Amino acid sequence: MTTTSPTTPELSPPSRQTYLDAGYTVRSWLLTKDHKRIAILYLISITLFFFVGGAAAVLFRLDLMTPEGDLVRSETYNKLFTVHGIVMIFFFLIPSIPAVMGNFILPMMIGAPDLAFPKLNLLSWYLFMTGGIFAVAAIVLGGVDTGWTFYTPYSSTYSNTNVMLTAVGAFIAGFSSILTGLNFIVTTHTMRCPGMYWSRLPLFVWSMYATAIVMVLGTPVLAMALLLVAVERGFRIGIFDPALGGDPILFQHLFWFYSHPAVYIMVLPAFGVMSELVPAFSRKRIFGYNFIAYSSLAIAVLGFLVWGHHMFVSGQSVYAGAVFSMLSFMIAVPSAIKVFNWTATLYKGHISYDTPMLFALGFIGLFTVGGLTGLFLATLAVNVHVHDTYFVVAHFHYIMVGGAVMAYMGGLHYWWPKMTGRMYAEGWARLSALIIFLGFNLTFFPQFILGYQGMPRRYHFYVPEFQVLNVMSSAGASILGIGYLIPLVYLLWSLRYGPVASANPWGATGLEWQTPSPPPTENFLETPVVTADPYDYPSETYAEPEPGASSPGPRADLAGV
Amino acid sequence: MDQDFRLWPRQASELAPRVDAIYIALLLMALVMTVLIFFFVIYFSIKYRRGSKADRRLSQGSYLPLELTWSIVPLIVGMVFFVWGAKTYFDQVIAPARAIDVYVVARQWMWKLQHSDGTREINALHVPAGYPVKLTMISEDVIHSFFVPDFRTKQDVLPGRYTTAWFEAKEPGEYHLFCAEYCGTDHSLMRGKVVVLEPADYQAWLQGGTPEPKSRGEALFRRYRCYTCHSGESKVRAPLLEGVFGRTVALADGGSAKVDEGYVRESILRPKAKVVAGYEPIMPSFEGQLSEEDIVDLIQYIQSLSAPAQTP
């Protein structure tokens, strides 16, 4: 680790030697070992994937406006929803918050100059892109139509599409997830600056740590399951297809043993972002720090014990179903605790309505609805009716889009000035938060009703009585699409024309705000020393911070010891 | 099947009101929770907005009694719903003994149904109102799922293994039958209807069908020369099939097995898997020679040797 020569303790004017100035060539980006640059690489690539997945969604939502699906053929429709699922889950949601904000912010939060394994970090991006290229190749070469769940024996024997290419893509991308998780665990254990005890870790770091555990333990199982599908498909060795002597339910067990925890890979980081946003914009210490930290770990552990709730009607034993149902109710508790804690944090705060906070408040509402409908699905008798209907689709979109994507957007706006050194257009940003919230609800709320009426998922043609709600949902999808395009415009605009951001534009605590925006390559000019608890906002009294002033509260002694 | 816009599926089976009762209770619980959280979020956001004059003294970073309360209460509420849901679920999946048997063979992308008297239908299932109907289902290719929303019943249909479901329709009428497990290109066209008739009309419909009572199964039994072993006159010792269906038999390896649809199917396809105690494992496998429908016919024939035919 190199540090520059000691500078004056003032942070303004900030040092212009930022991580962005470390090199201007493409090569300096593609061969970088700087966690911040790698985060930017991830940001650019997952944004591309996000709009690929989104375009697929817009297309099939348009198609679903009529019961007869006049836009595309059934084969195309099936490929569209498969592309949407695979791209959005494996190439956007799973890497979104961990690979962008985790990579960029986590080392800064604990006062570290970089992650523990910078080269592995770069490798993880290359693996991710390799997997992505395989997936895109599968799409370009004719698509894949198994659904993102790859259920056997359809995927291993019957589908005549590019299952192998897609499976290889997801397989390779899985390794990038494992490396990221490994890096976060080791970094959190070994790279904390003096005074950064476990009890002082920002809650974002706690949630990243829990996520990393799930990534390291879960992803290999998916890799094995996909490998076995490839083996059965390629060599006709009977593993899942009963015609070859296999067992079709075995695949579902292997798949959900990873893919249920994967839901927590998507939403635990979102919890972490929320735990940063709510105190920062309430200017108040977070309520129940310990409960939030430990509930993250509880979710990581319990998350591995509920995979069977995807299989209540699959033919698994009814007694197994009962056990999984009970465990699913138990995992709802730590999630509920977090929502209550964020709400309690607002109490007696000093709440501002900046864009990240709007996304955070939207998250609380949407995640509450998503979580509560999860209880409907955990209830055995109700699950039998709504399983594999639009009720499930609505539920997990409330969690993944209403939860994970809202938090991702909130975090992106929150740390945007830190990443880029620029502020975005606040008015446009608030408008987009509002449009996304409204468009989202219009898209997915009708699907709950649709699902209870009995419209199955993945239906290209449907019976006429479902049309009204489908049209509402499609209308919402177009609004939602616009809501996501607006940030693309004003964030890109801000890179060139946005006002220059100060080191701490929000007046937030946390080490990442104790260093210039954008940070220098080594993050901190001097190794910070932590002397206070996290979220150490001054209680009782409050004064508006002057623009560009450093944050209140003696968080870190930047003048050195 | 009316095509009106509805907010709620019809309660057309015995269990539908019970499932709906849980659903309504869940809705109420969710509504209370949502209203509470929305209220507090909005109320706090307005009252404690930056620059407001609200009193902010004595705010705490944690308060254990409150946190324990909101951890334990949701857990208790959850457990109530778990028990309620599980009890109803067991009634949903365990068919009553007096149920009428219907066999379902699913394939891409059609439903083939067979009644206890041998009558066959495609994509339509006629059943009498007021009688429990037990479905024994198998797929010829990929996984499908038998789903009748108005009955609140759903069960995946697997290749290579029988699964069962049951319902008791209350009112005559036509109800949608959907495939709920993605099964390929025309998944969304794998639709049918369940036609519920008055019992008398159901009897008349059966007569008007093409009943070949048990004859197909018996013909197969002769064509494949099963009788050379499985009959009283045979020189080769094999278990007699009369009266065996539904009983539990001792196996050569010391275990025991209930002779049900799955056991019979396995014994035809993989005879050496579960050999009855006291017999030699000499039966050949008929794998690849019989279709799933042939096996259903044989099962019905063997059932008919054990029990009086069920008629409503």
The string of pLDDT tens digits covering residues A204-236 is 999 999 999 999 999 999 999 999 999 999 999
Best of A379, A387, A406 to disrupt the B interface (most B CBs within 10 Å) is A379
Between A549 and A426, name the one with better pLDDT. A426
CB contact under 8 A, A387 and B154: yes
User: How far, in Å, are A107, A119, A341, B1, B165 from residue A239 at the CA level?
Assistant: 43, 37, 46, 42, 26
Q: What does the alpha-carbon distance between residue A417 and residue A424 come to, in Å, rounded to a whole number? A: 8
Task: Output the CA torsion sign for A446, A449, A454, A456.
Answer: positive
pLDDT of A478 > 90? The answer is yes
- What secondary structure does DSSP assign to B113-131, as a single string? EEETTS-EEESEEEEETTS
User: Strands B163-168, B132-139: parallel, antiparallel or unpaired by DSSP?
Assistant: antiparallel
Which of A398, A347, A472, A560 shows the shortest CA–CA distance to B40?
A347
The pLDDT of residue B308: 55
Q: Between chains, do A145 and B185 touch, taking CB under 8 Å as contact? A: yes
In chain B, residues with a C-beta closer than 8 Å to the C-beta of A458 are: 182, 187-188
The reported pLDDT for the residue numbered A22 is: 86
| Best mutation target, A79, A84, A229, A313, to test chain B (most B CBs within 10 A) | A313
pLDDT of residue B239: 85
Q: Which of residues 58 through 77 in chain A touch B, CB cutoff 8 A?
A: 74-75
Q: Is the pLDDT of residue A541 over 70?
A: no
Measure in Å the smallest separation between the Cα of A103 and chain B Cα atoms.
Answer: 29
A457: chain B residues, CB-CB within 8 Å: 180, 182
Of B40, B81, B184, the CB nearest to A375: B81
Question: For residue A484, how many other CB atoms are within 10 A of its CB?
Answer: 18
| Residue B111 C-alpha, separation from nearest chain A C-alpha, in angstroms | 16
Read off the pLDDT band of B4 (50, 70, 90): low
Mean pLDDT of A241-262: 94
Dihedral in degrees, nearest 10, Cα atoms A195, A199, A205, A208: 140
Specify the length of chain A in residues.
561
Q: Is A431 exposed, middle or buried (0-12, 13-18, 19+ CB in 10 A)?
A: middle
Q: What is the pTM of this model?
A: 0.89
Minimum Cα–Cα distance from A453: chain B residue: B9
Q: Which residue has the higher pLDDT, B242 or A522?
A: A522
B62 with A290: Cβ contact below 8 A: yes
Question: What pLDDT, in 10s, does the model give residues A296-318?
Answer: 999 999 999 999 999 999 999 99
Model confidence at B207, in pLDDT bands (50, 70, 90)? confident
Helices (H), A454-466: none
pLDDT at B230 (0 to 100): 86
Helix (H) or strand (E) segment spanning residue B139: strand B132-139
Taking CB atoms and an 8 Å limit, are A282 and B48 in contact across chains?
Answer: yes
Q: Do A379 and B84 touch (CB under 8 A)?
A: yes
Probe site for chain A from B29, B40, B77, B143 (most A CB atoms < 10 A): B143
Model confidence at A557: pLDDT above 70: no
Look at residue A15 in the predicted model and tell me its pLDDT. 46
Q: What is the pLDDT of residue B254?
A: 87
Say whether pLDDT at B213 is over 60. Answer: no
Chain B residues closer than 8 Å to A149 by CB: 182
Q: Nearest by CB to B38, from A321, A365, A383: name it.
A: A365
Residues shown for chain B? 312
Tell me which chain B residue has its CA closest to the CA of residue A388. B180
> Chain B: nearest CA to A445, how far in angstroms?
13
pLDDT in tens, B105-134: 999 999 999 998 888 888 999 999 999 999
In B, which residues are within 8 Å of A151 by CB distance?
142-143, 181-182
Tokens of residue B5, six digits: 């816009």
Q: A–B: how many Cβ contacts below 8 A?
A: 278
For tokens 């857990």, name the residue.
B75
The residue of chain B with its CA nearest to that of A251 is B143
In this complex, the residue of B44, B150, B179 whose CB is nearest that of residue A346 is: B44
Q: Give the sign of the dihedral formed by CA B198, CA B204, CA B206, CA B209.
A: negative
Residues A348 and B54: their CA atoms lie apart, in Å, by: 8
